[in-house]
Structure 1
Amino acid sequence: MLFHFSLMAITLGANYVAALRKTEVYVWLNNLQ
């Protein structure tokens, strides 16, 4: 159960970081224009 929970937390963390990166790139591209 603990292993499953940590795996879920890692997945959520990775998704959060990926979304953050996409937002950063989107804002950066908008600033170029």
Structure 2
Amino acid sequence: MANRLAQEKSPYLLQHAHNPVDWYPWGDEAF
């Protein structure tokens, strides 16, 4: 199951795109 990081371009964030956590990238939506 992919989370919101699956749409990011950063290789670091993409490493965590399939973690079992609903991660948000930094931005207004995260708050």
Q: TM-score band (shorter)?
A: under 0.3
With the length of structure 2 as denominator, give the TM-score of the two structures.
0.26
With CA pairs under 8 Å and 6+ residues apart, which has the higher RCO, 1 or 2? 2
As a proportion of its length, which structure holds more helix?
1
With the length of structure 1 as denominator, give the TM-score of the two structures.
0.25
